[in-house]
Amino acid sequence: MNKRKNTYLTIGSIIVAIGLISFALYYSKCHGDECDSKISRKGNGQKEEVKKEVQEVEELFPKMIPTVIKEQILNNEVVLVDVREDSEWAEGHIMGAKHIALGNINIETTKDLPHDKQIYVYCRSGKRAGEAEIKLKSLGFGNAENLGGIIYWQGRGGELVK
């Protein structure tokens, strides 16, 4: 009986080991679009990788163009709302932006926002801005749109003010 038990333990251990090795091999390979990114490294190194990342950001946040946004703010065509926390705002924000932290978005804090202009919301990466867009739309601001994150703004040459 003991010999049979040891055999089962050995076979079970081998099966688990094969499963773990298979998982590790599968996980380390690229899948789908990321394969194109890894293949492009073979040619021009990091340049192609960075180019692909920039294209992905442009597809995700196509309106995050600092020169265009600055002009739209100066011409009073859009309202820019920073939904980051107070400490993040103090570290630097986009000139002309209004500050309403995501957790503070409600009827009272948005009463001064216009209903007839495009409202762009941004945060650090775009995630909270997406949540803010949903909140603003639920408050009747159908013109609210996730602009993206301040990291993309800076990555595209946009400056911050304190």
How far is Cα 151 from Cα 159, in angstroms, rounded to an integer? 11
What is the Cα–Cα distance from 119 to 66, expressed in whole angstroms? 15
Distance CA 64, CA 98 (A): 17
The CA distance from 2 to 120, in Å, is 70
Please report the DSSP string for 14-76 in residue order.
HHHHHHHHHHHHHHHS--THHHHHHHHHHHHTHHHHHHHHHHHHHHHSTT--HHHHHHHHHTT
Reply yes or no on whether 35 is catalytic: no
Per annotation, catalytic residue among 81, 101, 123, 144: 123
Look-up: residue for tokens 């941004």?
122
Instruction: Report the catalytic residues.
Output: 123
